[in-house]
Chain A
């Protein structure tokens, strides 16, 4: 019986849904966008829209560039020059397996999601603290570990939010390591005669026969971006999934997806611009902005530990209403802290 019960178990996931208004003093939307660092995919959906505005189009086309460096030794990231040039404040967080951790000779702590046997360790190095104390024993030890004891090299994706400095500084700084510049991939499309759920901004859980819930909207959005059919009959042999009810049909909707290594600052600009979408009267009752993190990122929000487990999900979605109310859904997987 215990075996049968275990066969029906799945790793726990969390979906947190909250609602607020962009005008609220205590609204956390900016903070949550800015502290979700490693973003792989950003998508938005605008019902009743056939052409993107110039401002939105420009923002979408300017989400890059990002950089790819192969075999970069870790000690480069703790050099004074690197910290002074690129880092205003920040931490270097390493997620290491047991053997690498023990060979590194550095102090860390076990992963929160270890079972009986601890297989993963996290080392967190405050870069600003380090750069102010170059003579300290701590810096000596870390330097010795990265240069001699266990020289680690990784392929890195780099994104740099800079004001004033030129883009080319990044390229020339890592020129010894064959740095490549990449632009995020942008995909734009218009969908015709789309069934959209009816939503009421004040009713997160939906109201029977009046509006759909946040959870239904979240699944429907996934169906749209996965190109699933929404019109199946309940007795269809192949699929019974259909658009949540109540729903309306919109003549057209604009979909946009950007993939790459996308900075939270760029996402914040997109969110602000989408909020301004309703400055002029529009047919659309709401628009959505969804962001998905890298499955293998060691952190989700801030320094919250993130693990892959079976899916590596950490994503969030805004539903922006025409009255500046919003819904925010944050989803994480099994080896994750609860979203903030």
Chain B
């Protein structure tokens, strides 16, 4: 609901997409392009998915999915144990409808 008055406009928007930050272990043998395509292919069959970033060094990626597909994607990633005969595991690090929230993770603050 948007209301106008003086210098103030306050609004809340329906947030239609969710962003995932994930890391995968044991997939070091796949190169960058192939990994993005294969990952997309896993879920793309049912839901449109964007792989926004992929970092080979840390084997981590940021995915974008529409909110109604969040539960399906999250459970698919959690339950995926192997791909094309090779063992793999996906670990979901952060989930948010705000991409800006994924650019920092306070749980990763290292102090020792």
Interface residues of A (CB under 8 A from B): 7-10, 13-21, 24, 40-41, 43, 68, 180, 182, 204-205, 215, 218-219, 221-223, 225-229, 237-241, 257, 259-260, 290, 292-296, 310-313, 315, 317, 331, 333
**B37 adjacent to A313 (CB under 8 Å):** no
Looking at the complex, which one of A9, A259, A331 makes contact with B104 (CB distance below 8 Å)? A259
Q: List 7 A-B contacts (CB under 8 A).
A: A10-B71, A17-B9, A17-B13, A18-B9, A205-B9, A222-B103, A257-B103
Complex contacts, A294 vs chain B, CB 8 Å:
106
Contact mask for chain B residues 7-19; partner A; CB cutoff 8 A; 1 contact, 0 none: 1111111010011
**A15 adjacent to B12 (CB under 8 Å):** yes
**A225 adjacent to B100 (CB under 8 Å):** yes
**B12 adjacent to A223 (CB under 8 Å):** no
Question: Given A10-B67, A292-B104, A296-B106, A241–B52 Cβ distance below 8 Å?
Answer: yes
Complex contacts, B15 vs chain A, CB 8 Å:
13, 15
**B62 adjacent to A14 (CB under 8 Å):** no
* Residue of chain A at shortest CB distance from B40: A238
Taking CB atoms and an 8 Å cut-off, the chain B residues in 66-112 that contact chain A are 67-72, 94-107, 109, 111
Complex contacts, B23 vs chain A, CB 8 Å:
none
**B37 adjacent to A237 (CB under 8 Å):** yes
**B100 adjacent to A228 (CB under 8 Å):** no
Closest CB pairs A-B (n = 10): A222-B99, A225-B103, A222-B100, A41-B104, A8-B68, A40-B106, A228-B52, A239-B50, A313-B101, A311-B96
Interface size on B, residues (CB 8 A): 43
**A311 adjacent to B53 (CB under 8 Å):** no
**A239 adjacent to B101 (CB under 8 Å):** no
Given A205-B11, A226-B103, A293-B106, 18 other A-B contacts at CB below 8 A? A8-B69, A9-B71, A10-B97, A16-B10, A17-B10, A18-B9, A18-B10, A40-B106, A205-B2, A222-B101, A225-B104, A228-B62, A228-B99, A260-B109, A294-B106, A310-B96, A311-B96, A331-B101
Bound-state Cα–Cα, A311 to B102, Å: 9
Bound-state Cα–Cα, A294 to B11, Å: 25
Looking at the complex, which one of B37, B64, B96, B109 makes contact with A333 (CB distance below 8 Å)? B96
**B104 adjacent to A24 (CB under 8 Å):** no
Q: Which of B10, B11, B100 has the most CB of A within 10 A?
A: B100
Looking at the complex, which one of B7, B12, B53, B105 makes contact with A14 (CB distance below 8 Å)? B12
**B51 adjacent to A239 (CB under 8 Å):** yes
Complex contacts, B51 vs chain A, CB 8 Å:
238-239
Complex contacts, B102 vs chain A, CB 8 Å:
222, 226
* Residue of chain A at shortest CB distance from B74: A310
**A315 adjacent to B100 (CB under 8 Å):** yes
Bound-state Cα–Cα, A245 to B50, Å: 19
Question: Given A10-B67, A221-B100, A17–B11 Cβ distance below 8 Å?
Answer: yes
Complex contacts, B100 vs chain A, CB 8 Å:
218-219, 221-222, 225, 290, 292, 315, 317, 331
